[in-house]
Chain A
Amino acid sequence: MGGVEDDEPASKRMKLSSEELIHLSNGSTVKESIVGSSRDLMARPLQSDGGEEVVGSKGVIKKVEFVRIIAKALYSLGYIRSGAHLEEESGIALHSSIINVFMRQVLEGDWDESVATLHNIGLTDEMTIKSASFLILEQKFFEFLDEEKVMDALKTLRTEISPLCINHSRVRELSLSIVSPSHCFPVRSPKQDTSRARSRTKLLEELQKLLPPTVMIPERRLEHLVEQALGLQRDACMFHNSFDEEISLFADHQCARDQIPSYALQVDANGISLKHKLSGHQKPVSSVSWSPDDHQLLTCGVEEVVRRWDASSGECLSVYEKAGLGMVSCGWSPDGKWIFSGVNDKSISMWELDGRELECWKGQRTLKISDLEITSDGKQIISICRETAILLLDREAKVERFIEEDQTITSFSLSRDNRFLLVNLLNQEIHLWSIEDDLKLVSKYRGHKRTRFIIRSCFGGLEQAFVASGSEDSLVYIWHRGTGELVEALPGHSGAVNCVSWNPTNPHMLASASDDRTIRIWGLNNLSAKQKDIHGNGIHYSNGGT
């Protein structure tokens, strides 16, 4: 078996596709059989079953490629003798001999020979040959400069680099660097031999990236594949919720359920005491919002006024109202300077803290029962504008986008990174929408019950990997965001659970509020119940009385 098949087309190496390396710069597609080198290789059809040995249970890993990657890994770990031994024992060379010659020439600085060898490797893409030659000659140029052989450098630039006719801006930079050495990048001023060698290694790495992967296997390819597999395992793990989970190579990663909050640490007001009673609203309070600096609170009465309170003293700082109209929702701008409020004439108003109204967006912008959210960059205002649509209004660009559903929307929740929106629907579904560039429906979550009330849901857990929601059947539902699977349905409350809030800094803590007049704090089973301050930013809404 010849074993030297470095001119094979790069096929899919494993069932995990490697997107960046399918590109063949020598121009051939995956389906064509490859042009052999000048040596005595036969052109092989790609999908040949006989003659191509495969390893692994699925039969997708080619033995030759597998061995070459392992050899490469051994060399990069420093086990030169093991690598050489592997090549010898398997009869599969890591690189063809011409590539070995090429690499040696580059490392030793035989620039002209290396350029000549480059042409002999058998690449069909002119551009690759030129780019690689350019890199080699550039190195030659810089080394001349370092040795103060300016005339030689100039000669290289004129007669060898320029005729390539590529990368003209770089050529200009090179000519500039003759005049002012500090101008060029990266700073190549090696005075000792050792530093020069290092930059030659770097050159080799650059060349590796340029040449097709079958010709020269990229550095750290095996490590990359393993990391990819671990990443996929982690994403598939439904219960992954801890910072310090170590992923071992010896077994597939799978967390146990115990990292999801499932145990009621606190029920009711044990350890939480009443600090202030904020009186002043004449109507029931429909929403509460903490200021970005956590020192103030905004509250909104049902079609009434919006009040701003100081959280430490309990004093009402201002009242925001509009003659003849009532407010329906409230929110802060992320810098804490402005207040936004939905009005029951379907418009949205913006106020300065002192009560002066700055702007008003009229038209069908909000409904009487609507949430109001502002993204943390202050740019977008999000509100339910019609029964089945959510408006995303960009304040600066004056652009409006709409999320259209085919069912009535009851509430929504914005993720902390402003990329996702969780929409609660009348028909007991929760839809996850991506709102970054295009508005796209990503997943649906089902299982909880909703018939009469506004039930709220939220993101939570490590990297917001989970979605939690209240439900009218007294359970707290937790789904894995990526897979959509229901992870937990926590019993404990004796009334409809109206809203949930996952601690933004502690992925193991969740709070839920229920019609049984209790708030439950959920945590991990094995931790002792600590008295923690509930970070106020989590709970935004209250349902019901003053």
Chain B
Amino acid sequence: MGRLFVITLEGSVYSCNHCHTHLALLDDIISKTHTNLILYPCFSLSTAGMERLISLIRYMNGSNYLFSFLMHSSVNITVGEKEERMMMTGLHTVVDIFCVGCGSIVGWKYESAHEKTQKYKEGKFILERFKVLGPDGSNYLVNHDVMVSGSDADNA
């Protein structure tokens, strides 16, 4: 293979799960509350409540809302073909993004949003939690095993 062009980031870095290529900085996250919004109440719910929540999440079509980070920018990725996707928040034109090191899919990028309220997402990236290693090296699979069953369905 040729010599990969890989940018090395400094600071708290999110990297690819498989090949540890740097993908983004902690500082690039747009909103963390975005991801934690529903999570916190979870811990006070009963098991039944939790199951209902999970099925609600499953209904969110293609939404990895809970399991993703909205980023300003991302490095060491290549993009795929443009697609129209119906998300929980409306119709968006997105491209899938892949790690340059191993080629695995790590998330997507919003090319354009059809709803006015979603325009802020244009040009921003989503990194899927289960594809990245956090800055402290933690893998989100370990921390949120309650949600694992839910996410498998989404990933299928």
Q: Select one of B1, B2, B3, B8 contacting A368, CB under 8 A.
A: B8
Tell me if A410 counts as interface (CB < 8 A to partner B): yes
Q: Select one of A369, A411, A455, A515 contacting B6, CB under 8 A.
A: A369
Tell me if B78 counts as interface (CB < 8 A to partner A): yes
Q: Check if A286 sits within 8 Å of B3, measured CB to CB.
A: yes
Question: Which residue on B lies nearest to A542, using beta carbons?
Answer: B3
Q: Check if B2 sits within 8 Å of A498, measured CB to CB.
A: yes
Per the bound structure, the CA–CA distance linking A260 and B32 in Å amounts to 56
Per the bound structure, the CA–CA distance linking A452 and B5 in Å amounts to 6
A402-422 contact mask (Cβ, 8 Å, vs B): 1 or 0: 000000101100000000000
Tell me if A430 counts as interface (CB < 8 A to partner B): no
Per the bound structure, the CA–CA distance linking A498 and B8 in Å amounts to 21
Per the bound structure, the CA–CA distance linking A543 and B4 in Å amounts to 9
Q: Check if A454 sits within 8 Å of B4, measured CB to CB.
A: yes
B1-37 contact mask (Cβ, 8 Å, vs A): 1 or 0: 1111111100000000000000000000000000000
Tell me if B100 counts as interface (CB < 8 A to partner A): yes
Q: Check if A515 sits within 8 Å of B2, measured CB to CB.
A: yes
Question: Which residue on B lies nearest to A496, using beta carbons?
Answer: B2
Query: A410 — which chain B residues lie within 8 A by C-beta?
Result: 5
Q: Check if A426 sits within 8 Å of B2, measured CB to CB.
A: no
Q: Check if A543 sits within 8 Å of B3, measured CB to CB.
A: yes
Q: Check if B5 sits within 8 Å of A387, measured CB to CB.
A: no
Question: Which residue on B lies nearest to A367, using beta carbons?
Answer: B8
Min C-beta distance of A75 to chain B, whole Å: 65
A128-147 contact mask (Cβ, 8 Å, vs B): 1 or 0: 00000000000000000000
Query: A515 — which chain B residues lie within 8 A by C-beta?
Result: 1-2
Q: Select one of B3, B7, B8 contacting A453, CB under 8 A.
A: B3
Q: Check if B8 sits within 8 Å of A452, measured CB to CB.
A: no
Per the bound structure, the CA–CA distance linking A543 and B1 in Å amounts to 8
Query: B5 — which chain A residues lie within 8 A by C-beta?
Result: 369, 410-411, 426, 452-454
Per the bound structure, the CA–CA distance linking A286 and B6 in Å amounts to 13
Min C-beta distance of A362 to chain B, whole Å: 17
A103-126 contact mask (Cβ, 8 Å, vs B): 1 or 0: 000000000000000000000000
Tell me if A194 counts as interface (CB < 8 A to partner B): no
Q: Check if A453 sits within 8 Å of B4, measured CB to CB.
A: yes
A446-465 contact mask (Cβ, 8 Å, vs B): 1 or 0: 00000111110000000000
Q: Select one of A367, A369, A543 contacting B2, CB under 8 A.
A: A543
Query: A452 — which chain B residues lie within 8 A by C-beta?
Result: 2, 4-5, 78, 100
Per the bound structure, the CA–CA distance linking A76 and B100 in Å amounts to 69
Per the bound structure, the CA–CA distance linking A452 and B2 in Å amounts to 9
Per the bound structure, the CA–CA distance linking A498 and B1 in Å amounts to 9
A451-B78, A452-B78 as given contacts; A544 in contact with B8, CB under 8 Å: no
Query: A498 — which chain B residues lie within 8 A by C-beta?
Result: 2-3
Q: Check if A544 sits within 8 Å of B7, measured CB to CB.
A: no
Q: Check if B6 sits within 8 Å of A544, measured CB to CB.
A: no
Question: Of A368, A451, A498, which is in contact with the most chain B CB atoms at under 10 Å from its CB?
Answer: A451
Min C-beta distance of A470 to chain B, whole Å: 9
Min C-beta distance of B85 to chain A, whole Å: 22
Per the bound structure, the CA–CA distance linking A368 and B76 in Å amounts to 14
Per the bound structure, the CA–CA distance linking A369 and B1 in Å amounts to 16
Query: A451 — which chain B residues lie within 8 A by C-beta?
Result: 78, 100
Query: B78 — which chain A residues lie within 8 A by C-beta?
Result: 451-452
Per the bound structure, the CA–CA distance linking A454 and B100 in Å amounts to 12
Q: Check if A454 sits within 8 Å of B2, measured CB to CB.
A: yes
Contacting residues of chain A (204-262) with chain B, CB-CB under 8 angstroms: none
Min C-beta distance of A498 to chain B, whole Å: 4
Question: Which residue on B lies nearest to A451, using beta carbons?
Answer: B78
Question: Which residue on B lies nearest to A498, using beta carbons?
Answer: B2
A496-518 contact mask (Cβ, 8 Å, vs B): 1 or 0: 10100000000000000001000
Q: Select one of A286, A408, A543 contacting B7, CB under 8 A.
A: A408
Query: B7 — which chain A residues lie within 8 A by C-beta?
Result: 369, 387, 408
Contacting residues of chain A (266-282) with chain B, CB-CB under 8 angstroms: none
Q: Can you spell out 26 A-B residue pairs with CB atoms less than 8 angstroms apart?
A: A286-B3, A367-B8, A369-B5, A369-B6, A387-B7, A410-B5, A411-B5, A451-B78, A451-B100, A452-B5, A452-B78, A452-B100, A453-B1, A453-B2, A453-B3, A453-B4, A453-B5, A454-B2, A454-B3, A454-B4, A498-B2, A515-B1, A543-B2, A543-B3, A544-B1, A544-B3
Q: Which 3 A-B pairs have the closest CB atoms?
A: A543-B3, A453-B2, A498-B2
Name A's B-contacting residues (CB within 8 A): 286, 367-369, 387, 408, 410-411, 426, 451-455, 496, 498, 515, 543-544
Name B's A-contacting residues (CB within 8 A): 1-8, 78, 100
Beyond A452-B4, A515-B1, list 14 extra A-B contacts (CB 8 Å).
A369-B6, A369-B7, A369-B8, A408-B7, A410-B5, A452-B2, A454-B2, A454-B4, A455-B2, A496-B2, A498-B2, A515-B2, A544-B1, A544-B3
